[in-house]
Amino acid sequence: MTADTSSTSSARSSSGTPMIRMTGVDKHFGDLHVLRDIDLEVARGQVVVVLGPSGSGKSTLCRTINRLEPIDSGEIAIDGTPLPAEGKALAGLRADVGMVFQSFNLFAHKTILENVTLAPQKVRGTRREDAEKAGMVLLERVGIANQKDKYPAQLSGGQQQRAAIARALAMTPKVMLFDEPTSALDPEMVQEVLDTMTGLASDGMTMLVVTHEMGFARRAAHRVVFMSDGEIAEDSTPEAFFSKPKTDRARDFLGKIL
Ligand code: ADP
Ligand code: MG
């Protein structure tokens, strides 16, 4: 275990219960050991940016947190409640964890407003009127309320990703996971999505963000977690990580991207 744990005390919220807590999490794909003894705590309201080379396990880490991927051993708890293996309780907990992917994954044959209002009605049992009211507030918040009756293909990539963020927020998640949310976007659309995410962070959302946008990491992250070969190799503040990475692997990574 090579993780730098010097900053983990800052991972605790004042109330004591971390919003995300991973303890000794291991995950294999066949012979490939993709997550190795991961210990990670994210406090309420904290923004953690996950960096690391391609194939280091960043996406798998995200996917285990809402059990899109099962783990082999260890424990993951959201706001103090351990993730159950399966069943109805899992669906409820999964709803607490919003996820936004590189590909926007919107329902192509539903309007933007329908995309945002579907899950609250189906999973939470919200009345349509109420879901639409709440959905419009969210579309305002991400700046695309005037697009509500359009279909995803009629929107720009940046607008689609903001719709995907609104759709995740519609479930009133406790945690938002972002897996390279701007990687599929044309460059001129990256900033509007990052701005939306920065707004969320300012509103106090707990966020785990896999990104290659170093500007966002420097400005918005409370912590940077650097993954390498399925391990958390460093866990520190953005200032410390970017100015004085502690491991050769992180120095090598930064040398390639900066
Ligand atoms: P990252 O997001 O950091 O690029 P991933 O978490 O996607 O890394 O992948 C970590 C490793 O696990 C890679 O070697 C990848 O090829 C492998 N992997 C990811 N998903 C699967 C899967 N469903 N089946 C088998 N191997 C996988
Ligand atoms: Mg990935």
Ligand nearest to the CA of 68: 1
Q: How far apart are CA 96 and CA 99, in angstroms?
A: 10
Q: What is the pLDDT of residue 15?
A: 63
In the sheet with 20-29, reading across from the earlier edge strand, the strands are: 32-42, 20-29, 73-78, 81-82
Asked whether 165 and 129 are in contact (CB, 8 A), the reply is: no
* pLDDT score at 87: 65
Closest CA to 193 of 204, 174, 180, 175: 180
- Predicted confidence at residue 258, as pLDDT, reads 75
Residue showing tokens 């960096």: 51
- Write out the two tokens for 99: 């996820």
Cβ-contact 21, 41 below 8 angstroms: yes
Residue 147 near ligand 1, beta carbon < 6 Å: no
Q: Ligand 1 in contact with 64 (CB < 6 A)?
A: no
- Using an 8 Å Cβ cutoff, are 107 and 114 in contact? yes
Ligand 1 pocket test, pick from 60, 99, 225 with the greatest ligand atom count within 8 Å of Cβ, gives: 60
Bridge-partner residues for 225, per DSSP?
Answer: 50, 235
pLDDT at 9: 40
Nearest ligand to the C-alpha atom of residue 56? 1
pTM of the model: 0.92
Side chain identity, residue 236: S
Ligand 2 centroid distance, CA of 131 (Å)? 32
d(CA 127, ligand 2 centre) in Å: 36
How confident is the model at residue 108, as a pLDDT?
97
The rounded Å distance from CA 40 to ligand 1 centre is 19
Residue 23 has which token pair?
A: 């303890």
CA-based nearest residue to 177, from 167, 168, 166, 186? 168
Cα–Cα distance measured from residue 44 to residue 60, given in angstroms and rounded to the nearest whole number: 22
| Ligand 1 in reach of 196 Cβ (< 6 A) | no
Q: From atom 15 of ligand 1, which residue's Cα is the shortest distance away?
A: 55
What is the 211 CA–ligand 1 centroid distance (Å)? 16
User: Is the CB of 55 inside a 6 Å radius of any atom of ligand 1?
Assistant: yes
pLDDT of amino acid 111: 98
Angstrom distances, CA of residue 150 to CA of 102, 141, 160, 163, 185 = 21, 17, 11, 11, 19
What's the confidence (pLDDT) of residue 5? Answer: 40
Q: Which of 32, 36, 177 is the pocket-test mutation for ligand 1 (most atoms within 8 Å of CB)?
A: 32
Q: Which residue has the tokens 């099962």?
A: 70
Each residue's pLDDT tens digit in the chain (258 positions)? 344 444 444 444 446 899 999 999 999 999 999 999 999 999 999 999 999 999 999 999 999 998 889 999 999 999 998 887 666 667 777 788 999 999 988 999 999 999 999 999 998 899 999 999 999 999 999 999 999 999 999 999 999 999 999 999 999 999 999 999 999 999 999 999 999 999 999 999 999 999 999 999 999 999 999 999 999 999 999 999 999 999 999 999 999 987
